[in-house]
Amino acid sequence: MLIVAQNPNWGSTCSTFVEADHVNVDRMNAELHSPLLGRQFAKAFLLLAVERVLFEWSVADQWRRRIDQRKPPDPKQVAALRKRLRLTKR
């Protein structure tokens, strides 16, 4: 089973958006593992297309973050943005 969120097509990104940092694997396991066991699926995937993060569920491993291709922000760019927005530490 494949579930896609953050669909990059115009008009559907906002309606399917969930941020990877807000996905709680422990909660997904607590609430979704048992219902998935009773289905015909050997695996399930949650793809966060824009952030390029893939969560995978299997009977043996339950939910886990399988791929995370997000890049951390460049500290120089963050400092420059803070300076422009006058958010620098005083």
Number of domains forming the structure of the chain: 1
Asked whether residue 80 is assigned to any structural domain, the reply reads yes
Print the SS3 string covering 57-78: EECCCEEEEEEECCCCCCHHHH
Asked whether residue 37 is assigned to any structural domain, the reply reads yes
- pLDDT per residue as tens digits for the range 9-65: 766 656 678 889 999 999 999 999 999 998 998 999 999 988 889 999 999 999 999
pTM over 0.85, yes/no: no
Asked whether residue 90 is assigned to any structural domain, the reply reads no
Identify whether the C-beta of residue 54 lies closer than 8 Å to the C-beta of residue 43.
no
Tell me which amino acid residue 32 is: L
Asked whether residue 89 is assigned to any structural domain, the reply reads no
**Domain containing residue 13:** 2-84
User: Residue length, the chain?
Assistant: 90
Asked whether residue 63 is assigned to any structural domain, the reply reads yes
pLDDT the model gives residue 87? 60
Beta-ladder partners of 47:
4, 54
Asked whether residue 31 is assigned to any structural domain, the reply reads yes
